[in-house]
Amino acid sequence: MTPLFEGEGIAAFELDHGDLDPLQRVYEATPSYFHVVLGEAPGPNAARETFERRPPPEMTFTRKRVLGFRAREADLVAVADVIEDLLAPHVWHVGLFLVSEPLHGSGIAQRAYGGLESWMRGQGAHWLRLGALAGNDRAERFWRRQGYVETRRRSGVAMGRKVNELIVMVKPIAGGSLEEYLALVPGDRAATPARD
């Protein structure tokens, strides 16, 4: 299988339903993420649900991809799902970015994310968007270090057994400004009622 991109000892591949077992192993090796976000361990169908989960019908998008990251010839060490053209052209949403827990602190997250961002830019992304869990200080710090800025917060988001507050964060990556982004996606302005 040809990688989508590679560099700094990391190669990324687009995953499909044939990759359910290795994806599930990454999830099971990272229980703290699921407990923080969902209030429970990953279920036996967590990998399958990653492929099936889509934005709500009122949120337009072009395509969803699930990417797996390998360090050298190892098993999957990280996973991301990205949604192309969410809500507006050239807006890419990082729905999940997860590094296997035993590798936390190893630098893999930074290297994998750096490759992912460069690849998304090369595929036509102008703005990157994500939702970080409020109170997950480690994740908030990581995304802020990557250059993401908060645009609004969404309260009352049901996720598994928990109801969370999400911080909507955005990063312009192709010369566009945050104001241009907010003109395209006005629902991400702090003063606008939640719509996603």
Q: What is the pLDDT along the chain (196 residues), one digit of tens a residue?
A: 789 998 888 999 999 999 999 999 999 999 999 999 999 999 999 999 999 999 989 999 999 999 999 987 678 999 999 999 999 999 999 999 999 988 888 888 999 999 999 999 999 999 999 999 998 998 999 999 999 999 999 999 989 899 999 999 999 999 888 999 999 999 999 864 444 4
CATH number at residue 175: 3.40.630.30
Q: 105: which residues sit within 8 A by CB, 6+ positions away?
A: none
Whole-prediction pTM: 0.91
Inside any domain, residue 22: yes
Range of the domain at 66: 5-188
Domain assignment present for 193: no
Cα separation, 86 vs 98, whole angstroms = 20
> Is 195 inside a domain boundary?
no
Residues belonging to the chain: 196
Q: Is residue 105 part of a domain?
A: yes
Domain presence at residue 96: yes
Q: What's the number of domains the chain is made of?
A: 1
pLDDT of the residue at 2: 86
Residue 196 lies in a domain: no
